[in-house]
Amino acid sequence: MNKYVMFGALLLLQGIPVTYAQPTGARSTASGVFTAEQAKNGERAFQAKCATCHGSDLHSTDAEAPDLTEGAFKFGWQGKTIANRFEQIRSTMPYGNAHGLDDQTYIDIVAYILQFNGLPSGAQKLEPDVRALEQIVIEIP
């Protein structure tokens, strides 16, 4: 397990709040950072490539796969950047075939997960540009 994840978990267990510094000039997912069409593309890719382990409704069907709904989503995504989630998914999924999808598919899946969890779509498509994605902070209402 990553030492930073372990440290954050330890702080949470001790009741110490964990905060993440927002990047300078950051914007929020509350402003609609992906398009509805992009989320639909992401849903199709998710159902084809991810649902076997994560469930078609994003409730994990595999003990090793994270649940991507409600509390688990908020705990794992709140305050982080889109780049952080994009890089983590791209470097670990699909299980046993990391980097097995193209970058646009990965970012479309991220858009779907955001939309599924109630974040609004907007007029501009997310692009798989890590530097740009580092400027978008995930804020969950």
Tens digits of residue pLDDT in 87-97: 999 999 998 99
| pLDDT digits 0-9 by tens, 68-126 | 655 666 667 889 999 999 999 999 999 899 999 999 999 999 999 999 888 999 999 99
Two tokens at 53?
Answer: 């382990």
Task: Report the distance separating Cα 32 and Cα 21, nearest Å.
Answer: 21
The answer to the question of residue 65 being in a domain is yes
In angstroms, the CA 14 to CA 56 distance is 34
116 occurs within a structural domain? yes
Total-model pTM = 0.77
Residue 125, domain extent: 26-137
Number of domains in the chain: 1
| Residue 20 lies inside a defined structural domain of this protein | no
**Residue 18 corresponds to which amino acid?**
V
Instruction: Provide the token pair at 54.
Output: 């994560």
Domain-embedded: residue 122:
yes
